[in-house]
């Protein structure tokens, strides 16, 4: 784990079921949109992360092998597990943002009754949903390696910290 400007990074290894991402860390932005969480979707879309939705998080491990994903809690709270069964749980509140590189497993453990979250994808990419034991693991590993780096940080745009974390600058 490392921190810069309040952000934190976490790298999750392939656990034999969920591939996770072998090179790119999950980036957590605690309270990044505190007090303006209802604007999460507008912030993400304005920074080039589109194809957005607002809803919840599945209560089973899943991942997207063909795109990265940003999640911003707009209301309530969620206990979310990242990285598969061997991963880590995070207690996210309204205003928190987390970016999941392609292949990163995630699932809802519990959530408050008023919980809502916004998701979006770099350049509005379409996303697939992969689950444990779906017979697509090897295909997914190849797809994960082909996902391009985003042009912008979903919260801070062209000057965002995500670009430095993911490009090694």
Task: State the pLDDT at residue 85.
Answer: 94
Query: What is the pLDDT confidence band of residue 4, given thresholds at 50, 70 and 90?
Result: low
Q: Which residue has the higher pLDDT, 1 or 153?
A: 153
Whether 163 is in a domain gets the answer no
Q: Is the dihedral of CA 11, 20, 41, 159 positive or negative?
A: positive
**Contact (Cβ atoms closer than 8 angstroms) between residue 38 and residue 29:** no
Residues of the domain holding 23:
2-134
Closest-CA residue to 48 (of 144, 143, 164, 160): 160
Residues 104-141: tens digit of each pLDDT:
999 999 999 999 999 999 999 999 999 999 999 999 99
Instruction: Say if residues 99 and 47 touch (Cβ distance below 8 Å).
Output: no
CA 62, CA 84: separation in Å to the nearest integer? 8
- CATH code of 93's domain: 2.60.120.10
Task: Tell me if 48 is assigned to some domain.
Answer: yes
- Domains of the chain: total: 1
Candidates 26, 2, 10, 9; CA nearest to 103 is 26
162 domain-assigned: no
Please check whether residue 161 lies inside any domain of the structure: no
Angle at 52 between CA 17 and CA 29, to 5 degrees: 70
Q: What is the DSSP letter of 86?
A: T
8 lies in a domain? Answer: yes
Give the pLDDT confidence of 43-85 residue by residue, as tens digits.
Answer: 999 999 999 999 999 999 999 999 999 999 999 999 999 999 9
């Amino acid at each position: 784990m490392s921190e810069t400007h309040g952000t934190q990074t976490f790298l999750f290894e392939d656990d034999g079921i969920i591939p996770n991402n072998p090179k790119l860390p999950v980036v957590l932005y605690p309270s990044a949109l505190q007090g303006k969480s209802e604007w999460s979707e507008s912030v993400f879309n304005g920074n080039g992360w589109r194809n957005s939705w607002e809803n919840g998080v599945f209560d089973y491990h899943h991942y997207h092998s063909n795109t990265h994903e940003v999640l911003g809690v707009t209301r309530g709270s969620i206990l979310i597990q990242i990285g598969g069964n061997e991963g880590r749980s995070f207690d996210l509140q309204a205003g928190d943002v987390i970016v999941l590189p392609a292949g990163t497993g995630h699932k809802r453990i519990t959530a408050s009754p008023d919980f809502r979250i916004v998701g979006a994808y770099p350049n509005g990419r379409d996303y697939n949903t992969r689950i444990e034991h779906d017979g697509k693991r090897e295909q997914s590993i190849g797809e994960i390696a082909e996902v391009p780096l985003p042009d912008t940080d979903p919260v801070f745009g062209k000057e965002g910290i995500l670009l430095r974390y993911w490009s090694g600058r």
